[in-house]
């Protein structure tokens, strides 16, 4: 089916070389899926006999190793051209508002744009390395318009958001867990100042700027604007209840950690299952964080100060907690955590990377458990318990053996 779509649009477009060509930008408002939260942008090209859409946002979850390639930053999207009649119903069905902005291009500019899209729509030319911030369905269109306009189009310089992260948070505001994951994975590069055209990586912001943009010769870029589909006022999911947000649950985790800390210090006892679960989770997440910082090609994953908290070294606790011979490793890690996390919390307000509010209770949870571990393992009662525990186990085993032998002797006597 995809091959048929690729083949159809260029062939039909070529039939209309003598026709008047109308070029429009199609902006679709956000939908309910996480990859729809910033909306979508496409190009519509019409002649007397054809009506096609050119879409730079095509991808497939069925591509080989899609998840790994996505995490590594090697996700390839593609350009596809197909009948506009196939495009609109999808967005109307999900409730998105669809706006068409007809562009003020000359016939030659329109034909050059169509020729570029036809060439890049050929299957062997259609793939490109997707970058969420700087090379996506919206920014690609701006680049194509520049190429046919004979120079850079002038867009309004005023920025609605100070940084990339703030712009993303605005459009993800009702999806706190999704934004929590983004704040976890993407580091300080996401907090750099937005300049020039940067904010147009979001199609909704691009639509606003197109209204006032001018071509290199002074012409207005937009000729007219109309709504093709009214849609719902907001097709995204409703706001997440406060008791289901990451911040609420991170505070719950902190309270539970405080209770465990008090009990450990008071009873001179380490609850190993707590360290297995918590530091195992931190360590595995830290492996992903390290991969994103040192291996991934994703924009803005490095540097990431959270790596001082989320790193593979946290796996020292669940791996080496179970033997007296290796206990010195988690003890050393508890001191490292206590020092590093304290410094991290002190330094954070004075650096540029922005953190999700839910991070701080979780960092404090790690700090509390580390301090409790360091204090408890130095407690003489805890050390004494370690020294006597093996003897107790052996003595218990001997007693059980004596009881079993006695019961067997008694059974033999009764039989006799």
Parallel/antiparallel/unpaired status of strands 76-83 and 127-129:
antiparallel
Q: Which pLDDT value is given to residue 412?
A: 56
- CA dist 391 and 308 (Å) reads 40
pLDDT (0 to 100) of residue 9: 44
> Comparing C-alpha atoms, which of 38, 86, 62, 408 is closest to residue 235?
38
CA distance 26 to 98: 7
Q: Read off the pLDDT of residues 326-377 as tens digits, 9 standing for 90 and up.
A: 999 999 999 999 999 999 999 999 999 999 999 999 999 999 999 999 999 9
Pairing of strands 98-103, 22-28: antiparallel
Using a pLDDT cut of 70, give the percent of the chain over it.
87
Q: What is the per-residue DSSP string for 395-416?
A: HHHHHHHHHHHHHHHHHHHHH-
The number of beta carbons lying within 10 Å of the beta carbon of residue 413 is 8
Instruction: Please indicate whether residue 4 or residue 317 has the higher confidence score (pLDDT).
Output: 317
pLDDT (tens digit per residue) in 188-221 = 999 999 988 999 999 999 999 999 999 999 999 9
Whether 392 has a pLDDT exceeding 60, the answer reads no
The residue extents of the domains of the chain are: 2-159+195-229, 242-378
**Strand pairing partners for 76?**
129
Long-range contact list for 270-273, CB < 8 A, 24+ apart? Answer: 270/321, 270/373, 270/376, 270/377, 270/382, 272/321, 272/322
CATH of domain 2-159+195-229: 3.90.1720
Spatial separation of the C-alpha atoms in residues 286 and 288, rounded to whole Å = 5
Q: What's the pTM value of the predicted model, to 2 decimals? A: 0.86
The C-alpha atoms of residue 371 and residue 405 are separated, in whole angstroms, by 47
Q: Closest by alpha carbon to 55, among 91, 106, 104, 11?
A: 91
Band of pLDDT at residue 94, cut at 50, 70 and 90: very high
């Amino acid at each position: 089916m995809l091959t048929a779509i690729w083949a159809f649009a260029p062939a039909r477009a070529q039939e209309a070389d003598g026709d008047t060509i109308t070029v429009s930008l199609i902006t679709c408002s956000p939908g309910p899926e996480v990859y729809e939260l910033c909306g979508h942008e496409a190009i519509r090209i019409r002649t007397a006999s054809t009506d096609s859409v050119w879409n730079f946002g095509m991808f497939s979850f069925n591509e080989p190793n899609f998840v790994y390639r996505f995490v590594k930053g090697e996700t390839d999207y593609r350009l596809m051209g197909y009948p506009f009649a196939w495009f609109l119903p999808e967005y109307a069905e999900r409730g998105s508002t669809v706006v068409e902005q007809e562009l003020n291009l000359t016939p030659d500019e329109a034909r050059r744009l169509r020729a570029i899209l036809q060439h890049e729509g050929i299957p062997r030319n259609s793939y490109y390395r997707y970058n969420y911030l700087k090379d996506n369905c919206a920014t690609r269109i701006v680049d194509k318009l520049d190429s046919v306009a004979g120079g850079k189009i002038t867009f309004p310089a005023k920025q609605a958001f100070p940084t990339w992260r703030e712009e993303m948070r605005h459009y993800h505001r009702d999806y706190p867990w999704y934004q929590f994951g983004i704040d976890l994975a993407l580091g300080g590069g996401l907090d750099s100042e937005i300049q020039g055209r940067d904010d147009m990586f979001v199609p909704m912001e691009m639509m606003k700027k197109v209204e006032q943009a001018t071509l290199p010769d002074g012409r207005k870029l937009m000729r007219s604007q109309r709504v093709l589909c009214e849609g719902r006022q907001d097709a995204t999911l409703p706001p997440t209840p406060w008791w289901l947000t990451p911040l609420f649950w991170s505070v719950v985790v902190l309270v539970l950690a405080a209770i465990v800390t008090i009990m450990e210090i008071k009873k001179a006892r380490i609850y190993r299952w707590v360290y297995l679960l918590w530091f195992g989770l931190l360590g595995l997440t830290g492996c992903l964080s390290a991969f994103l910082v040192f291996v991934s090609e994703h924009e803005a994953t490095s540097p990431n100060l959270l790596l001082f908290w989320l790193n593979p070294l946290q796996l020292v606790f669940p791996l080496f907690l179970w033997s007296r011979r290796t206990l010195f490793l988690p003890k050393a890690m508890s001191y490292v955590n206590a020092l590093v996390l304290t410094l991290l919390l002190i330094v954070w307000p004075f650096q540029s990377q922005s953190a999700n509010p839910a991070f701080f209770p979780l960092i404090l949870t790690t700090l509390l458990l580390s301090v409790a571990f360091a204090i408890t393992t130095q407690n003489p009662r805890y050390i004494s318990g370690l020294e006597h525990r093996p003897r107790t186990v052996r003595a218990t085993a001997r007693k059980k053996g004596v009881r079993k032998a006695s019961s067997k002797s008694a059974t033999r006597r009764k039989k006799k």
